[in-house]
Amino acid sequence: MQFTQDTLVNMSQSEDTRPAKYHEVLYISKDLQEGIYIQVEEILFCVPKFVLVQGCEGLADVFAACEGSPNSVTHPCVIPDLKVVEWEALVYYQCRALRSASVTTSFPERPALERYEALLSSASRFLAESARRHAIRALEDIPESVLRPARKLYLARRYHINEWLAPALRKIISMKAKDLSPEDIANLDADAHQTYLTITQTKEKIQEWQASLLFSTPPLQHRPQCHENAVCEATWTIQWRSYAMLLHYPQERMTTMDVWSKMTAANVPEAMGDCFVQAVNALSGSNFLTKESLLVDEAVTQISQIM
C-alpha cells in the first residue's frame, strides 16, 4: 500500500478541536515553523523537516503528501487506522537522525512483543522492507512463552510471513487442548472455528498415523553376514515398538523426527549389529519421516485459503 493524498486525510481543525495532547517525545516544538504535523489517533506529532530529510527511509510518500497541502498544528495530516505505538515504532526505526538524537532517550519503554508487533504492522502497511525484516527477526528471538504459537500463526497470516506458517501450526498441533487458552483461540482470527477445525482434524490424522506405527513394523533388510535372522527380526520388532511408544508418551509430544533422532543416537542392540543401523537409515527415505510434514503442509494450504 503506497501512501499519497488519497490515503492521508487532511483535516482542517480549529483551536478548540485540535488533538487532546502532543506526543511526549515526537512533538519536537509547539512553535516549530519548519515541521511536519501528523495526527495519529488523538495524538499530534511534529518532527522537523531537516530531521526527516536526513534519512527517514520509506516514509517519503507520507511526508510529501503532508507537505503538498496546508500543514500546521491546526491542519495536521491525519493517518487513519493507525495506532500511536505503530507510528512511534516506525518513525523511530526509520529515521536515523532521530535515533541518534538525545530526545529519543525519553521514549516510553514498551514490552518487546508490543514494540516489534507494532513495527511489523506499520512497516508492512508502509512497505518499509528494512523495518519489516528487522521486526520479523526480533520477533523470532522472543521466547515461545511470550510469543505463543497461536499468536505467531496469527501474525504469519495477517502479515504474510509464509515461513512462520508451518512451524507455528506444528507447535499448535503438538499442544494438548487443555494447554490452549481462550486468547490462543481468539488469535486464530475471524475464521477461528474453521481454523481450529482444520487444526483438530490434522492433529487427529497425525495421532492415527502414529498409532498405526505400533502395529506396522517396517521390513528389515538383513546384512549379508547376518546368520541369526529370526533373532534379529524379533529384536527389531521389540526395538521398533519401544521407539514407537515414545510417540504416545503422555508428558511430552514427540514427532517421528524426534523418535528417529533417538534411534540414530542409540546403542546398537547386540543381537542386531549393523542390521539395526541399516534399518534405521532406511527409515530416512520412507514416509516415516515425511508423513507428518505432508499432513501439516496440507493444513497450511487449507488455512491459507481461509484467509
> Do 91 and 120 form a contact (C-beta atoms < 8 A)?
no
For residue 27, the 8-state DSSP code is E
Beta strand 35-40 pairing with 43-48:
antiparallel
For residue 9, the number of C-alpha atoms closer than 13 Å in the C-beta half-sphere is 11
pLDDT at 133 over 90: yes
Cell 546368520, residue?
227
> What is the DSSP secondary structure assignment for residue 4, as one 8-state letter?
S
Residue type, 131: A
pLDDT at 22 over 50: yes
What is the rounded average pLDDT of the residues 244-256? 80
* Residue 247 pLDDT class (50, 70, 90 cuts): confident
Please tell me what DSSP assigns to residue 271.
Answer: T
Q: What is the average pLDDT across 254-274?
A: 86
| Alpha-helical segments (H) within 33-105 | 49-53, 60-67, 84-94, 96-100
Specify the pLDDT at position 5.
46
Is the pLDDT confidence value at 137 over 90? Answer: yes
Given a cut of 50, whether residue 54 has pLDDT beyond it is yes
Q: Give the pLDDT of residue 67.
A: 67
Residue 164: closest CA among 180, 174, 153? 153
Higher pLDDT, 52 or 110: 110
Q: Check whether 14 has a pLDDT greater than 70.
A: no
Give the cell for residue 237.
520388532
Whether residue 3 is predicted with pLDDT greater than 50 in this model: the reply is no
Cell readout for 143 is 521466547
Query: What is the pLDDT, as a whole number, of residue 19?
Result: 54
